[in-house]
Amino acid sequence: MSKVVFISKKRIQWYILLAAAVIVAGAYVGWHQTKAASAPVSQEPQVRNIVTGEFRSTSSSGKEIESYVFSPGTVVVKKGIPVELRITGVNGQSHPFVIEGLNLSGEVQKGKTTVIRFTPEAAGIYPIVCTTHNDPANGVPMVGYIVVQ
């Protein structure tokens, strides 16, 4: 035997009101989750460590060959966030350097750490060039790179 159920007009209105409330609550929660995801980026400095290194060898003719490097040779940072670049002298007595395009300079001495602080404003690649070891005629130039994304 089949049952017949009658729904009153008032009960249909309550169901419609309940459905509308659920839709509004869902939209409210979804909107707040979207807003939370767009919170500002932390302004903690991006700390990057670099050391100076040295390679030595003797050519087949007996000439001593040496090459100095920044290691790692490339560091990546984000635009608009402060950077703290810590360069420690491991090899070589002194490495005066410039960071081309950022108008920064300094000097790294053996056994010491030089700290350079800046906030990159434009994306690009900025060479760190040792002014003592920059002539290709005397070996490989000592160059590192800061990549700003």
Q: pTM score, two decimals?
A: 0.66
- Asked which of 99-103, 127-131, 138-142 is least confident by mean pLDDT, the reply is 138-142
Asked whether residue 7 is domain-assigned, the answer is no
pLDDT, mean of residues 103-125: 95
| CATH (domain of 71) | 2.60.40.420
The answer to whether residue 13 sits within a structural domain is no
Residue 80 lies in a domain: yes
Beta strands in the chain (DSSP E): 46-58, 64-71, 74-77, 83-88, 94-99, 104-109, 113-118, 124-130, 143-148
Task: Please give the C-alpha separations between residue 126 and each of 63, 93, 116, 136, in angstroms, as whole numbers.
Answer: 33, 24, 14, 19
84 pLDDT exceeds 60? yes
| pLDDT reading at 105 higher than 80 | yes
Do the domain assignments include residue 6? no
**Residue-range definition of the domain harbouring residue 122:** 46-148
| Span 50-73, pLDDT tens digits | 999 888 888 899 888 888 899 999
Q: Is residue 50 part of a domain?
A: yes
Tally of structural domains, the chain: 1
